[in-house]
Every structure is written in structure tokens, then in C-alpha cells.
Structure 1
Amino acid sequence: MIKTIIFDFGDVFINLDKEGAMKNALNLFELHEFPEDLSAVNSIYEQGLMTTDEFLEFYLDNFPNLDKDDILDAWNFILKDFPKHRLEFIQKLAEDKTYKLILLSNTNELHIDWIKHNVRFYEDFKSCFDAFYLSHEINLRKPNATIFDFVLEENKLIANECLFIDDTLENIEAASKLEINTWHINEKTEDITSLFTIKSDLF
């Protein structure tokens, strides 16, 4: 029996353009593929192990022909719209108080700052959750098992009484290994508001 629902943020609530963002970055940085050292820095920043100033300085040092605004625009390019019907869905779930609601997202400071400034109902959204975990604030990142262990222990949860929803397969696989129920949502064909129809077998 599901007692707790753990939600990802990007492509579950807020729409992302991952392919467009990568194409835009490659064009801006004049690269054919994204090198491992840049990906590693992005991951470190997403875990809050590097400040925003350090992160921007790294990119400006490596791409001296660009300025701060170029980097910021490229970094935030991935973030798109947040459909209102998804807010209404989570608000209804919060009002019903049937399930414990947790958000667990690989999100960095620049992205959450952009969302705070551009999604007018962000605080209303955040208030729907019993716990709200962003990777840069807790220094942990999916798909590492430690982040799931942290959530389970912090909230005194039993793994098989939880449902974890994410659009990234490696995150889903990591949660499944801990006996957490999962939904690998397809952001192109599925919507979080169909949760109780698509995963009716769990409820």
C-alpha cells in the first residue's frame, strides 16, 4: 500500500528542453560533443559542492570569448513552462492528505532562482509538499543510492510503501534496487495528472 509519493521536478511538473539546451550549448561553446570535465563540473555544482560564483568563473575562464549573460542564458535554456493543471493536481493531493508528498530533484541554485522569478506560483507549489529536497541544498544527487537512503531515513519511510516518479531511467533503476515502487514517466506521452490511472495497480 502506497503511503508516500516522491516526485521529481523537471519533466514531471516543469517542462524541460534537454535536447534543445544541449544543442544550444554546443553551438555557443563551439563544441561537437560535451566533454566529461564540463559534465563533471555541472554535477559538482548540482550537488552544491561549488558556489554559483565559482561555477560561472569556471565557464568564463574556459570560454573567455563569452560573458556572464551568455553563460546564464545557456544554463537556463533548458527551463520551460510549468502547466497550471499540474499545480492544481498537487494542490488537490495536498488538500486530501491521503499521502505524504515529497519532492526530490537534482536542481541547482541558478535553476531554482530562475524558477522563483519566472514561475509566479512557485511558493504555492512548494507548500504542497511535506518535504522538499533539492540536490544542491542537501549535497546529494540522484541516482546515488545515498540520496534515497537519506529521504527514507529522514522521513522514517518504508521503501515498499513509497512510489518514486522520475523521467530519468537511471534514477528509477536506483530507487527500484531499494525496493521503492517506481513510475518511469514518459514526458512526451504521459502527464503526472494521470498518475492514479496509469499506476492504478498500486493504489
Structure 2
Amino acid sequence: MIKTLIFDFGDVFINLDKAGAMTNALELFDVDELSEEIVAFNSFYEQGLIDTNEFIDFYMGNFPKLTKQQIIDAWNYIICDFPVKRLEFIQQLAKDKKYNLILLSNTNELHIDCIKNQVLFFDEFKNAFDKFYLSHEIQLRKPNKDIFQFVLNENNLKPEECLFIDDTTENTETASQLGINVWNNNPKTEDVIDLFTIKKDLF
């Protein structure tokens, strides 16, 4: 019996343009692909191991022709719209009080600040959850097992009583290895508001 719903944020609630953001970054930086160093630095930032100033300084050091604002805009290019129907969905779940609601997102300070500015109902959204975990705040990151173990331990959860919803296969695979039920949603063809139809076999 499912008692806890653990949701990802990007491409579950808020829409992302991952491909567009990568194309935009490669064009702006005038490179064919991101170096291993850049990929690693991005991961460190997402995990809260470096702060925003260090992150921006790193990019300005690597791409001195770019301004601070150009770098921030390129980083936030990925963030798109947040359909109100998804806010209403999570608010209804919160009102029903049938499930423990947890958000577990790989995100960073620049992205969350951008979202707060763009999404007028961000506080309403956050308040619908019992726990709201962002990778840069807890210094843990998906798909590593320790972030899932952290959530289970912090909330005294049994994995078989949890359902984790995430659009990234690596993340759901790790959760599944720990005995957590998963839904690897496809943001192009599926919507979180249809959770109880698509995963009706679990409820």
C-alpha cells in the first residue's frame, strides 16, 4: 500500500527545455560539447558544494568574453512554464491528506531563484508538501543512493510504501534498487496529474 509520494520537480511539475538549453549553451560558449570539468562543476553546484559566486566566476574565467548576466541567462534557459493544473493537483492531494507528500529535486540556487521570480504561486506549491528537499540545500544529489536513503531515514519510511516519480531513468533505477516503487514519467506524453490513472495498479 502506497503511503508516501515522492516527486521530482523538473519535467514533472515545471516544464524544462533540456535540449534547447544545451544547444543554446554550446552556441554561446562556441564549443562542440561541454568539457568534463564543466560537467563536474555543474554537478558540484547542483549539490551545493560550491556557491553561486564561485560558480559564476568559474564560467567567467573559462569564457571571459561573456558577461555575468549572459552566463546566468544561459544557465536559466532550461526553465519553462509551470501549468496551473499541476499546482491544483498537488494542492488537492495535500487537502485530501491521504498521502505523505515529498519533493526531491536536483536543483541549485540560480534555478530556484529564477523559478521563484517566474512562478507567482511557488510558495503555494511548496506549502503543499510535507517535506521539500532541494539537492543544493541537503548536499546530496540523484541518482546517488545516499539521497534516497536520506529521505527514507529522515521520514521513517518503508521503501515498499513509497512511490517515486521522476522523468530521468537513472534516478528511478536507483530508487527501484532500494525497493521503492517508481514511475519513470515521459514529459512529452504523460502528465503527473494522470498519476492515479497511469499507475492505477499501485493504488
State the partner residue of 2:146.
Answer: 146
Q: How does 1:35-50 map to 2 (within 5 A)?
A: 35-50=35-50
Distance in 2, Cα, partners of 1:63 & 1:105: 28
The Cα shift of 1:159 comes to 0.3
The Cα shift of 1:4 comes to 0.1
State the partner residue of 1:137.
Answer: 137
Distance in 2, Cα, partners of 1:35 & 1:12: 28
Distance in 2, Cα, partners of 1:170 & 1:118: 29
Distance in 2, Cα, partners of 1:188 & 1:118: 22
Distance in 2, Cα, partners of 1:20 & 1:35: 18
Q: How does 1:1-150 map to 2 (within 5 A)?
A: 1-150=1-150
CA RMSD of aligned residues (A): 0.3
**Unmatched segments (≥5 aa) in structure 1:** none
Distance in 2, Cα, partners of 1:72 & 1:54: 13
Q: Could you say what secondary structure the match of 1:6 adopts?
A: strand
Distance in 2, Cα, partners of 1:22 & 1:134: 22
The amino acid across from 1:184 in the alignment is N
Q: Could you say what secondary structure the match of 2:61 adopts?
A: helix
The Cα shift of 1:35 comes to 1.3
Q: How many residues align?
A: 203
Q: Could you say what secondary structure the match of 1:173 adopts?
A: helix
Q: What are the Cα deviations for residues 146-181 of structure 1, in whole angstroms up to 9, with x where unaligned?
A: 000000000000000000000000000000000000
TM-score if structure 2 supplies the norm length?
A: 1.00
The amino acid across from 1:66 in the alignment is L
State the partner residue of 1:183.
Answer: 183
The amino acid across from 1:161 in the alignment is E
Distance in 1, Cα, partners of 2:161 & 2:123: 28
Distance in 1, Cα, partners of 2:136 & 2:52: 11
Q: Could you say what secondary structure the match of 2:143 adopts?
A: coil
The Cα shift of 1:196 comes to 0.1
Q: What are the Cα deviations for residues 58-101 of structure 1, in whole angstroms up to 9, with x where unaligned?
A: 00001000010110010000000000000000000000000000
TM-score if structure 1 supplies the norm length?
A: 1.00
Is 1:173 the counterpart of 2:164? The answer is: no
Runs of 4+ in 1 over 6 A off after TM superposition: none
State the partner residue of 1:195.
Answer: 195
The amino acid across from 2:102 in the alignment is I
Q: Could you say what secondary structure the match of 2:129 adopts?
A: coil
Q: What are the Cα deviations for residues 113-132 of structure 1, in whole angstroms up to 9, with x where unaligned?
A: 00111100000000000000
The Cα shift of 1:194 comes to 0.3
